[in-house]
Amino acid sequence: MQIIEQTRPDLDKILEKAQQLIQQRLIPLESELMGKSWEEMAPRLAEVRQEARNQGLWVPQMPKEYGGMGLSLIEHAQLMEVLGQAIFGLYVLNCQAPDAGNMEILHEFGTDEQKEKYLLPLIDGQIRSCFSMTEPDYAGSNPIYMGTVATKDGGDYVIDGHKWFTSSADGAAFAIVMCLTDPEGESPYLRASQIIVPLDTPGFEHIRKIPIAGHAGGGWISHSEVKYNACRVPQTNLLGGEGHGFSIAQTRLGPGRIHHCMRWIGICERAFHLMCERAATRELAPGKPLATKQTIQIWIAESRAEINAARLMVMDAARKMAAVGDKAAKVEISVIKFFCANILQKVVDRSIQVHGALGITDDLPLAFWYAHERGARIYDGADEVHKSRVAREILKGYGVRV
Ligand SMILES: Cc1cc2nc3c(=O)[nH]c(=O)nc-3n(C[C@H](O)[C@H](O)[C@H](O)COP(=O)(O)OP(=O)(O)OC[C@H]3O[C@@H](n4cnc5c(N)ncnc54)[C@H](O)[C@@H]3O)c2cc1C
């Protein structure tokens, strides 16, 4: 952790408590729980969640009156780096995706009834949720392009559609579903809405947990393929206004990218620490640790520089967002999204290499991150989408519209 940006007097204490929880409780739990089924993990994680909550470490980004810690974007960003170091860090403080983003949009756009029914139990950790936007048959990189339709019938919406990569759908109580409510609308940006669908609604079909990178799709993280077959929900389940689906999604993306990037920096710091520790202790011959090799020294130096740079860039983007809003900070947000996702891949990969065969075992978290965080370059906007947005914005200043 670098110098703390102390925006409130107790922030250093909060970060210290979180660091202790990571070191003393969550890192040791990784070797005990990884590879186990969710049913085996859940009770152990529930114990640590309660411990965290007892220490006041709970839903950091939600206002205090909702039971959260009321951290600002910049404060929360710094906590995310601490939590990112452990696989279970975010879950234990109930600030993991997709619940965290869903809480934010329910808080900002939900009606009193929706807050009571969905937001409060989510904050309390009684239920989980998912966000259902991407579809197998449409390019997710163009979020206004989709096949799921919600048709009005009496006082209800009837939803039909096929989605995938609905993360955490298995076991979730409800989904926030992005669907077209005005498929022929003149503006493509006003055709879609977000609608809350309880997952016990008749017609909701959980097809499968998608196998990812060699694991069967179960366990700690799951991404589901689902169908909405004439799912009928009351019109009161509409979030925000009709046609506001796209603009609501945009509001969740800016802060979400700051959170993701800082979580990745936390992963980088842990991978970096493991790399240095291994380089210092693994001997090629008596008295000749790996650290004596220049290639390894270069990986250490380059990783240090890249992690420092990534953190400074994210904090700079967060400051700009806090000062002038997401729209004015869109270049900075896109820059950190692809930059940090790529630093993450590099640092984890180097750390694996320094560990040799041990690096790809499940005795360390590195192989888990190597497989699961590959998605960082795809979700919340693939690298190429962000790079082209950055270039487009810059080129506008040169009179070119591309
Ligand atoms: C781990 C993970 C978790 C996810 N969780 C969720 C979730 O909870 N809910 C949900 O709805 N979705 C989720 N997604 C889906 C994610 O949002 C999409 O994968 C993403 O939007 C990209 O869409 P796509 O996969 O359809 O790729 P496509 O849109 O088909 O794009 C494929 C590739 O084409 C290239 N490309 C695309 N556009 C451009 C462009 N403009 N310029 C140059 N190249 C381009 C990029 O290389 C891109 O990777 C998740 C994805 C992952 C990997």
SS (H, E, C) 208-277: EECCECCECCCCCCCEEEEEEEEEEEEHHHEECCCCCHHHHHHHHHHHHHHHHHHHHHHHHHHHHHHHHH
> In the structure, what pLDDT confidence band is assigned to residue 3 with cuts at 50, 70 and 90?
low
Amino acid (one-letter) located at 324: V
Q: Residue 253 Cα, ligand 1 centroid: separation in angstroms?
A: 14
Contact 278, 355 (CB under 8 A): yes
Report which protein residue has its CA nearest ligand 1's atom 51. Answer: 379
Report which protein residue has its CA nearest ligand 1's atom 28. Answer: 139
Q: What is the pTM of this model?
A: 0.96
Average pLDDT over residues 150-155: 98
Most confident of 29-43, 114-128, 213-227: 114-128
292: DSSP letter: G
* Residue of 379, 388, 389 to mutate, ligand 1, most atoms within 8 A of C-beta: 379
Among 84-98, 209-223, 256-270, 341-355, the range scoring the smallest mean pLDDT is 209-223
Do you find a cis peptide bond into 98, omega within 30 degrees of 0?
Answer: yes
Report which protein residue has its CA nearest ligand 1's atom 19. Answer: 379
- How far apart are the C-alpha atoms of 57 and 26, rounded to whole Å? 14
Contact 137, 164 (CB under 8 A): no
- 3-class DSSP state of 37: coil
φ, ψ at 181 (rounded to 5°): -105, -15
For residue 9, the model assigns a pLDDT of: 85
CA–CA distance from 73 to each of 58, 78, 79, 88, 258 (Å)? 15, 9, 10, 21, 8
- How far apart are the C-alpha atoms of 258 and 166, rounded to whole Å? 21
Does residue 1 surpass a pLDDT of 60? no
Q: Residue 345 Cα, ligand 1 centroid: separation in angstroms?
A: 17
User: Where does ligand 1 bind, in terms of residues with CB under 6 Å?
Assistant: 98, 131-134, 139-141, 165-167, 223, 375, 378-379, 382, 384-385, 388
Report which protein residue has its CA nearest ligand 1's atom 53. Answer: 375
142: DSSP letter: S
Averaged confidence pLDDT in the chain: 95
> In the structure, what pLDDT confidence band is assigned to residue 271 with cuts at 50, 70 and 90?
very high
142 CA: nearest ligand 1 atom: 29
167 CA: nearest ligand 1 atom: 8
Does residue 83 surpass a pLDDT of 90? yes
pLDDT digits (tens, 9 = 90+) for 122-147: 999 999 999 999 999 999 999 889 99
For residue 189, the model assigns a pLDDT of: 94
CA–CA distance from 349 to each of 125, 344, 345, 377 (Å)? 34, 8, 6, 14
Does residue 334 surpass a pLDDT of 70? yes
Q: Angle, to 10 degrees, between the axis of helix 245-281 and the axis of helix 294-324?
A: 150
Which carries the bigger pLDDT value, residue 215 or residue 281?
A: 281
* Residue of 102, 129, 142, 165 to mutate, ligand 1, most atoms within 8 A of C-beta: 165
For residue 66, the model assigns a pLDDT of: 96
pLDDT digits (tens, 9 = 90+) for 370-395: 999 999 999 999 999 999 999 999 99
Q: Residue 156 Cα, ligand 1 centroid: separation in angstroms?
A: 31
Report which protein residue has its CA nearest ligand 1's atom 25. Answer: 140
Q: Residue 273 Cα, ligand 1 centroid: separation in angstroms?
A: 31
Does residue 242 surpass a pLDDT of 90? yes
φ, ψ at 351 (rounded to 5°): -65, -40
φ, ψ at 109 (rounded to 5°): -115, -10
Q: Residue 175 Cα, ligand 1 centroid: separation in angstroms?
A: 19
- How far apart are the C-alpha atoms of 102 and 172, rounded to whole Å? 12
**331 CB contacts (<8 Å, ≥6 apart)?**
389, 390, 393, 394
Q: Residue 332 Cα, ligand 1 centroid: separation in angstroms?
A: 20
- 3-class DSSP state of 162: strand
> In the structure, what pLDDT confidence band is assigned to residue 213 with cuts at 50, 70 and 90?
confident
> In the structure, what pLDDT confidence band is assigned to residue 2 with cuts at 50, 70 and 90?
low
Pairing mode of beta strands 149-153, 129-132: unpaired
Does residue 215 surpass a pLDDT of 60? yes
| Largest separation between any pair of C-alpha atoms in the chain | 79
Contact 224, 209 (CB under 8 A): yes
pLDDT digits (tens, 9 = 90+) for 101-113: 999 999 999 999 9
Contact 244, 251 (CB under 8 A): no
